[in-house]
Chain A
Amino acid sequence: MSITENQLHADPSIEAHELHPQRSAVIETEQQRDHAKTIYEKSKPGRRAFVAPELDVPKHELPAKFRRAEAPKLPEIAEPEIVRHYNRLSKRNFDLDSGFYPLGSCTMKHNPKLHERVAALPGHARLHPLTNPKRAQGALELMHSLQVALGEIAGLPHVSLQPSAGSHGELAGVLVTRAYHEDRGDFRTKILTPDTAHGTNPATVTMGGYEVVKVGTNADGGVDIEDLRAKADDQVACLMLTNPNTLGVFDANIEEIAKIVHGVGATLYYDGANLNAVMGKTRPGDMGFDIVHYNLHKTFTQPHGGGGPGAGPIAVSDRIEPYITKPQVVKLEDGTFDLDFDRPKSIGRLRGFQGNFGVFVRSYAYILSLGGDGLQEASELAVLNANYLLAKLRELGVTDLLPPAYDRLCMHEFVLSGAPMKRELGLKTLDLAKRLLDHNFHPPTVYFPLLVEEALLIEPTETETKETLDAFAEAMAEILREGAEDPEIARNAPYGTPVRRLDEAGAAKRPVIRQPL
């Protein structure tokens, strides 16, 4: 490296991305970068895209006291400029269709293009949710078929499709647990979550009206059985667990864990964010779980949309079945389908209508395409890819500075610790992540799980090629080599992206969360 950051700042004619020319994830020219105008700033009174249909009835006005005096200041802009605005914005995003996205715990697998086509069929897209079930048989059959398939995958027969995302499924799980216990006159106050749990688990517990009790992790990355035994008492309503957990470790003591939890009358909840590791290999129901949620936007290919939509159906065992949400899609004896509202012990509904049906269409298409054998193979290849990537990182010496948190085979993802890198090179996990952006890779999940210092959680998924995994490993190695020579480069990365490191502290201190108009 011949030019330093200081020189860069001293000489404004040098452009950052020319200094450290990399295959940057999202490249913009200097001129484009200076045009982060919002659509409101492109607005001009009198411009428009919308042409209202003709007023074919007598004009009627609302009483003055309800009428709005001043119209909301929405943009005034014609169609060509709306399209350009959002197309240009889209180019400031990195996306899964453009490159590797090993974001641990998020299962960024390919989103098949067929799914968008079938979800958009007018019979799906323009079907009103309050259509009489007799005239929505196709939709109900689809939902029922999806319920059956998801139930088989989880080994739990009763599926409620209603929850809208993983954390909503968690809430459903906590609420059915409460209903199950209270129906027995059994009132409990606590829910156990491991210290490796995703943040949504403890947050959900609080929203469900329980106290969170943390359970420790043992030396192998599994639940600390002694700690669990000590904390499991008759005030515990549930243990929320993911298996494999967020360390990518399959907890081999799962049968023992289930026994302890059931022994005190609690339910065992499976956070299905990591289901992509085990389809066709083992099933939460067979492991002893009572309730599981699926993230259809992870395992079952619903595109993430930059932060949703998703869907978080739950599946439950027989004893929990009376309590799941209503309405429930059922198949009647004559082979037709219906919505069952007559569920006296149900917790009720957790949202409007029947759930994120458009997501169900995509996930059902995926299950049809892969079949039982294909789903199993997807999990096998997800695990193969993760282990191969870990082996490759070892081979390239990356794990010398970024050792695996648990040095063993992993499932579909694994955790590295950046602690030695920080010590030896003075580079934080964050710096490494930012430098990866200059290599056209989305970084792994960083600083999660909390248990591991300077954590990087890496999940390649089954839809990536060996060549991509090799290239990613090489990039990691190159960043470490470069860091050993001049850590400043990574510390100031990224360079070629539409913006560089942003002042997040300033944003939180003086929040500007809307355009002043």
Chain B
Amino acid sequence: MSRYTSATETDRQEMLAAIGVESIDDLFADVPEGVRLGRPLDIAPGKPEQEVFARLRDLAAKNVSAEDEISFLGAGMYDHYVPALIDSILSRSEFLTPYTPYQPEISQGGLQVMFEYQTAISELTGLPVSNASVYEGPSAVAAAGWLAHTHTKKTKFLVSESLHPHSLETLATTSAGWGTTIEMLPVVNGLTQLDEVVGDDVAAIFVGQPNFHGAIEDIAALSQFKGSALLVVQADPLTLGVLRSPGEDGVDICVGEGQTLGNRLDFGGPSFGFFAASQALLRRMPGRIAGETTDVDGRRGFVLTLQTREQHIRREKATSNICTAQALNALAGVIYLSWLGREGLVELGELLVSRTHYARETLAAIDGVELWHDQPVVREFALKLSKNAHEVVEFCSARGVNPGFAFDDNGLLVAITEQRSKADIDRLAEVLKEALA
């Protein structure tokens, strides 16, 4: 079914005449006979808008979302409230529909957003350099691995056992052709163990903050042992109002998943990845970077800058292959941070700390529940259950409470957001008690 096009029969005839061919098929003359499809695509005929809407509404209705249950699922993406002004601003065509800002004179809005976003990420991470976004969290970790490998020319990655497993897997997949190896750093009672300076064959050390099991790592202590390697921290940006900034603890690269900053869950994406680094790594950064400059009349303006790093200029010598990234999601991020504001980020972080602590204490008091570790936590914690965690999740879910992510046969990761009240936590405790009884 023709849709979203305007060519009438008369238009088509006039256009073909202007081109000097008889039919549209004549335009495909270069396609050799042997590779023509020669039959209609085996895809159902097009449908009117209301029917497409109904089909998608019916599919959406088959999912049990955070709208339908009390959910404590996290493990990398979190059900935070997305304020209405984000929907309103992101739905503006001027943000939604342009391409990457290749023509700065008519893209000042998008470019200034990138500049403001870079500033916010730089403030959060305490690192001077941020790019304008990468795809998402785990691939940002892999991108940091590539930077570290090409910068240090070294071939070993040390990865904490408490790094998000998706990040570890993505790093392993992505690095298959680099000639690098991955060695694991053990975790004891929630914390990554490193007690001597790493070898000079190490390109980078990867740690989560908070880590996958919710524990706050002592980044300052770890950084003492980084030697000539780069210390890469995957951080949850929403915790950086209350946690020390990675930059002040000697971190070289801080990356992470930006979903917690004003982006929907969307079953895993699109969100954005952030990528911040020390000044020394500026010219090694992947992706787009916006910079401030002036126009011929001396007016302030913004452009994509340091482009000689990028694939369209440097091709096989580029610092990365990234082209399309996550600009719209990064815009959501910077609007969210402006909406929270300087004080709000801290207040929200403090609320999470208090509620998470309450939840951990309340749940740990249940028979059959132990703490996975007893380190301080911000917004998520890991429990050891006396029963199979997958079965416990099923039991609770059937009662309208999704207790979290079963990361192990007995391990349950429970996440708290500002949308989970004390009453919700108490309800979780009730259901969990029943499940373990």
Contact = CB atoms under 8 A, between A and B. Distances in A.
Given A68-B242, A90-B109, A123 B342 contact: no
Given A77-B341, A348-B173, A384-B24, A124 B60 contact: yes
A514 B311 contact: no
Interface string B36-72: 1100111111110101110111111111111100010
Contacts, number: 734
A94 interface: yes
B46 A138 contact: no
Given A74-B337, A108-B99, A306 B328 contact: yes
A353 B173 contact: no
Interface stretch (B2-10, B187-195, B364-372, B429-437): B2-10
A112 to B, nearest CB: 6
B31 interface: yes
Interface in A46-75: 47-50, 52-53, 55-63, 65-69, 71-75
B85 A165 contact: no
B355 A352 contact: no
A507 B304 CA distance: 9
A203 interface: yes
Interface centre among B15, B44, B51 (most CB of A within 10 A): B15
Given A308-B326, A384-B24, A437-B106, A96 B136 contact: no
A68 B343 CA distance: 13
Chain B: interface size category: 35 or more
Interface in A22-38: 25-26, 33-34, 36, 38
Interface in A143-193: 149, 152-153, 155, 164-168, 170-171, 174-175, 178-179
Contacts of A354: 267-269
A372 B41 contact: yes
Contacts of A395: 18
A305 interface: yes
A355 interface: yes
Contacts of A311: 270
A492 B295 CA distance: 11
A423 B241 CA distance: 58
Interface centre among A33, A85, A205, A368 (most CB of B within 10 A): A368
Interface stretch (B115-123, B200-208, B222-230, B381-389): B115-123
B142 to A, nearest CB: 8
B116 A39 contact: yes
Nearest to A309: B270
Given A371-B1, A499-B104, A166 B264 contact: no
B97 A353 contact: no
B278 interface: no
A229 interface: no
A232 B340 CA distance: 57
B48 to A, nearest CB: 8
A36 B108 contact: yes
Contact of B173 (A97, A126, A349, A411): A349
A57 B355 contact: yes
Nearest to B219: A66
A498 interface: yes
Interface centre among B57, B65, B137 (most CB of A within 10 A): B65
A164 B257 CA distance: 14
A93 interface: yes
A132 B295 contact: no
Contacts of B427: none
Contacts of A58: 354, 358
A499 B97 contact: no
Interface stretch (A114-122, A261-269, A397-405, A474-482): A114-122
Contacts of A126: 65-67, 79, 264-265
Given A56-B421, A303-B97, A376-B40, A504 B173 contact: no
A222 B116 CA distance: 44
A179 B176 CA distance: 9
Interface in B321-362: 321-329, 331, 334-335, 337-348, 350-351, 353-355, 357-358
B157 interface: no
A59 B303 contact: no
A125 to B, nearest CB: 4
A125 B241 CA distance: 26
Nearest to B97: A96
Contacts of A409: 19, 21, 26-27, 29-30
Contacts of B275: none
A254 B35 contact: yes
B184 interface: no
A514 B277 CA distance: 13
Contact of B176 (A286, A347, A381): A347
Contact of A305 (B124, B216, B300, B329): B329
Contact of B108 (A89, A166, A255): A89
A465 interface: yes
Contacts of B100: 304, 306-308
B43 A372 contact: yes
B106 to A, nearest CB: 4
A516 B55 CA distance: 50
B108 A48 contact: no
Contact of B65 (A86, A109, A127, A358): A127
A369 B52 CA distance: 6
Given A72-B342, A79-B339, A202-B315, A513 B393 contact: no
B106 A109 contact: no
Nearest to A465: B6
A106 interface: yes
Interface in B141-181: 142, 146, 164, 166-167, 169-170, 172-174, 176-179
B300 A504 contact: no
Nearest to B62: A138
Contacts of B87: 120
A353 B259 CA distance: 12
Contacts of B34: 255
B354 A55 contact: yes
A511 interface: yes
Contacts of B124: 72
A129 B268 contact: yes
Interface in A308-353: 308-311, 325, 347-353
A110 B97 CA distance: 9
Contact of B96 (A111, A254, A463, A500): A111
A448 B310 CA distance: 14
A352 B170 contact: yes
B213 interface: no
B123 A517 contact: yes
A353 B326 contact: no
Given A131-B63, A250-B30, A66 B244 contact: yes
A123 B67 CA distance: 7
A90 B89 contact: yes
B339 to A, nearest CB: 5
Contacts of A139: 59, 63, 267
Contacts of B12: 384
B410 interface: no
Contact of A502 (B27, B43, B241, B294): B294
A283 B282 CA distance: 42
A-B pairs with lowest CB-CB distance, top 6: A209-B177, A305-B328, A123-B60, A353-B268, A138-B62, A129-B268
Given A166-B324, A384-B7, 7 more contacts: A118-B56, A138-B61, A357-B268, A369-B52, A388-B18, A445-B102, A514-B115
30 contacts: A59-B354, A67-B242, A68-B241, A77-B338, A93-B95, A114-B49, A122-B65, A126-B65, A126-B79, A128-B73, A130-B405, A153-B41, A155-B37, A165-B322, A205-B316, A250-B31, A288-B35, A305-B327, A305-B329, A305-B331, A308-B327, A349-B173, A351-B170, A351-B269, A374-B3, A384-B19, A448-B312, A466-B11, A499-B295, A500-B296
